[in-house]
């Protein structure tokens, strides 16, 4: 299996597992919490067929990557992404992130710029800033995140099982847009992740990305479900689209996991975005996208 080394903890190498397939302009897919690069299975084959080189990787602590006790902050996670891009000698890259993966993209662009990056797709984004503060009244109260951390410490598998109910909106979508078997696969991935990393990632979600946003100078596409219960669109995608002048595609009734539940639509939007010329710097919100059932 292919790995890159991104650092050390004591004498032990910290290694990131990745997959690299196809030829053409590269696309790097960055998964959400608490999954791995395998979460992109409904996108990889489509992007390869369209003639792209597709790279997926597992965030430190997750999937087949090392499980160190350190580095679960967005500065380090963006460094990990930069190491992957430079060691694979990628140029003219499109970054596609889901949920937590959109934080890596935002901090990467804020830190390293867009010299190697041509465009970005942010699916169910975590920026600009989740935490409710005096200057961010649309954010979420800190008690919510403290409760999540307490639940992880008390019974991490139980927390993960509950998390996926809201990840897919199973009360509405189970048996139609998502199967119990898919949720079981995700549960297995989530419970096999680092316990330390799982807990630490909740604190990382509270990163303030607002200083990174003015440095984003490439075309961006935001895709998000209108019924996202993990990262409500009103506090994330809607605000972010205005701040970075991105195009926002809103999927009515779509849950957090739209890349799975509405993969046909998400894939179509990504491919259209990749084939476009320079985007106009105006926010265009699509509220009329029809629901599509999983085949």
pLDDT digits (tens, 9 = 90+) for 6-23: 999 999 999 999 999 999
At residue 223, does pLDDT exceed 60? Answer: yes
Share of the chain above pLDDT 70, in %: 94
Which residue in the list 31, 228, 262, 263 is annotated as catalytic?
Answer: 228
pLDDT digits (tens, 9 = 90+) for 52-71: 999 999 999 999 999 999 99
- pLDDT at position 290, please? 40
Query: Residue ranges per domain, the chain?
Result: 3-286
Question: Can you say whether residue 130 is alpha, beta or left, with left for phi > 0 and alpha for psi between -120 and 50 degrees?
Answer: alpha
- pLDDT at position 70, please? 98
Fold type of domain 3-286: Rossmann fold (3.40.50)
Compute the average pLDDT of residues 158-162: 98
Which residue in the list 31, 52, 98, 256 is annotated as catalytic?
Answer: 256
Compute the average pLDDT of residues 205-223: 98
Least-confidence region, from 64-68, 90-94, 197-201, 290-294 = 290-294
- pLDDT at position 103, please? 98
Strand locations in the chain (E): 3-9, 12-21, 26-30, 53-57, 93-98, 117-123, 220-225, 247-251, 285-286
- pLDDT at position 277, please? 55
Contact 70, 6 (CB under 8 A): no
* 256 included as an active-site residue: yes
* Of the candidates 111, 74, 123, 116, the residue with the CA atom closest to the CA atom of residue 94: 116
Compute the average pLDDT of residues 89-97: 98
pLDDT digits (tens, 9 = 90+) for 276-292: 854 433 333 344 444 33
Which residue in the list 99, 194, 212, 262 is annotated as catalytic?
Answer: 99
At residue 131, does pLDDT exceed 80? Answer: yes
Q: In what order do the strands lie in the sheet with 220-225?
A: 3-9, 12-21, 53-57, 26-30, 93-98, 117-123, 220-225, 247-251, 285-286
């Amino acid at each position: 299996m292919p790995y890159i080394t991104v650092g050390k903890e004591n004498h032990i190498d910290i290694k990131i597992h990745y997959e690299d397939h196809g030829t053409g302009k590269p696309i790097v897919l960055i998964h959400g919490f608490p999954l791995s690069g395998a979460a992109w299975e409904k996108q990889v084959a489509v992007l390869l067929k369209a003639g792209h080189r597709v790279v997926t990787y597992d965030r430190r602590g997750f999937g087949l990557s090392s499980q160190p006790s350190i580095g679960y902050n967005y500065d380090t996670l963006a460094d990990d992404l930069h190491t992957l891009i430079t060691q694979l000698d990628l140029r003219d890259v499109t970054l596609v992130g889901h949920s937590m993966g959109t934080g890596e993209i935002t901090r990467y662009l804020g830190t390293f710029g867009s010299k190697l990056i041509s465009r970005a797709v942010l699916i169910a984004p975590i920026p600009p800033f989740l935490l409710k503060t005096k200057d961010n009244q649309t954010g979420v109260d800190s008690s919510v995140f403290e409760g999540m951390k307490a639940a992880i410490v008390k019974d991490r598998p139980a927390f993960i099982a509950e998390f996926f109910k809201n990840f897919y909106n199973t009360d509405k979508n189970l048996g139609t847009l998502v199967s119990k078997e898919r949720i079981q696969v995700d549960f297995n991935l989530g419970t096999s992740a680092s316990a330390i990393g799982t807990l630490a990632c909740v604190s990382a979600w509270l990163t303030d990305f607002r200083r990174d946003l003015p440095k984003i100078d490439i075309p961006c596409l935001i895709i998000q479900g209108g019924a996202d219960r993990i990262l409500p669109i009103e506090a994330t995608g809607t605000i972010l689209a205005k701040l970075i002048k991105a195009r926002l595609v809103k999927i009515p009734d779509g849950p957090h996991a739209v890349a799975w539940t509405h993969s046909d639509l998400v894939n179509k939007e990504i491919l259209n975005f990749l084939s476009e010329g320079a985007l106009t710097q105006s926010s265009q919100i699509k509220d009329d996208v029809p629901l599509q059932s999983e085949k």
